[in-house]
Amino acid sequence: MIRRTLAPGLLVALGLGGPVAAGDEVVDASALGVAPGRAALGGDPVLAVVDGDEVRADDLLPFLFLTRTEHVFAALEQEVRRRLVAKEAASLGVTVPRPTVDEKVRQVLKAQDDDFRLQAGPDRSFEEYIRDRYGVDPAVYRRCVEQQVVHELMLARVVRYDLRRQERLQVRILVVDDVAVARDVLDKLAEGANFAALAKQVSVDRSAARGGLFPPVGVDCPHPLLAGARDLAEKEIAEISTVERGGTRLFRVLKLEKRFPPDPRPFAEQAAEVEAELEERPLDPFEALEWDRRARERHRIEVRMGRA
């Protein structure tokens, strides 16, 4: 008999078991205290049996290290971040509203269930399929999925609250590969042209679709595209500067849109504002990367595994 574990995207569909932190108004950092995979799957599960000889999950690790090093490294990085989120959330008192967790889990489950029914037909039972083919208790695995949902929601709140506690800058940038174009942009801006419109027209940066707008970042953000922003006044436009990207010399025009003062209030007093802010402006990947940089400076991390 062979037992297999399914990828999260498939097992999520069943949706058995109770909600995270049922009975509480909020979910706190304790929900992230145990690594989801090993706990949910019962430690070191048996994946196959060959003439009575059990093949366990840990038996595959040496093979994966040798043949799928990048995948293992990515999983390690994900687990390091999960633990950072848990530590920061506990330290800052960050929580997630339980209804938000329940709704997100419901959305994930529905999306996966719809996908399964589309592929297998409406008459097939996903529960029977999971149990018969994979020998996995969907209720147990669902708890793992719920924990992943909590991680994603907690990350967004930790990042946004951490930012609100420091002085922040919001800028627009415009990046071109010709200094003559950059000078023409400055001339047009001096004549009253709209920065966002120009960025959408000529900028080669990925922010062009947003009119060059970056999410608010801390004043100490070291990203080269944002260099010098802290020295500007609101609505001031910096002179052309050069940046290197992949060996290519580019030219940047930067405008400071707004300064946000730090808000020292505890999370409990800002929670409603954080929720409203995330509803209006979901977490940007750039915010998460910048938070990750700062968090790794605050904690002692020793990654002993190198990339392939």
| Residue 11, pLDDT score | 38
Q: How far is CA 170 from CA 24, 174, 202, 258, 290, in A?
A: 36, 14, 21, 5, 14
| Residue 144, pLDDT score | 73
Give the residue from 276, 274, 281, 271 showing the smallest Cα distance to 26.
271
Query: Residue 239, exposed/middle/buried by CB under 10 A (0-12, 13-18, 19+)?
Result: exposed
Cβ atoms within 10 Å, residue 101: 22
Cβ atoms within 10 Å, residue 167: 15
d(CA 211, CA 70): 35
Give the residue from 211, 202, 205 showing the smallest Cα distance to 182.
202
| Residue 250, pLDDT score | 96
Q: pLDDT tens per residue, the chain (308 residues)? A: 333 334 443 333 333 333 444 445 889 988 876 555 555 555 677 878 898 899 888 888 888 888 988 888 888 888 899 999 999 999 999 999 999 999 998 898 788 778 888 888 877 776 777 677 666 677 776 777 788 899 999 999 999 999 999 999 999 999 999 999 999 999 999 999 999 999 999 999 999 999 999 999 999 999 999 999 999 999 999 999 999 988 899 999 999 999 999 999 999 999 999 999 999 999 999 999 999 999 999 999 888 776 54
d(CA 208, CA 129): 46
| pTM as predicted | 0.81
Give the residue from 19, 195, 228, 203 showing the smallest Cα distance to 106.
19
What is the helix (H) or strand (E) element at residue 169, kind and residue range? strand 168-176
What is the helix (H) or strand (E) element at residue 170, kind and residue range? strand 168-176
And the tokens for 263? 């808000």
Select the CATH number that applies to the domain covering 168-262 from these four: 3.40.50.300, 3.30.930.10, 3.20.20.80, 3.10.50.40: 3.10.50.40
Every domain of the chain and the residues it spans: 8-164, 168-262
List, as one string, the DSSP characters of 195-258.
Answer: HHHHHHHH--SGGGGGTTBPPPEETT---GGGTTGGGSPTT-BPPPEEEEETTEEEEEEEEEEE
| Residue 134, pLDDT score | 60
3-state SS assignment for residue 12: coil
Q: Spell out the alpha helix ranges (H) of the chain.
A: 8-11, 36-40, 57-67, 69-92, 98-120, 126-134, 138-164, 179-190, 195-202, 267-280, 285-298
Query: Residue 308, exposed/middle/buried by CB under 10 A (0-12, 13-18, 19+)?
Result: exposed
d(CA 249, CA 292): 28
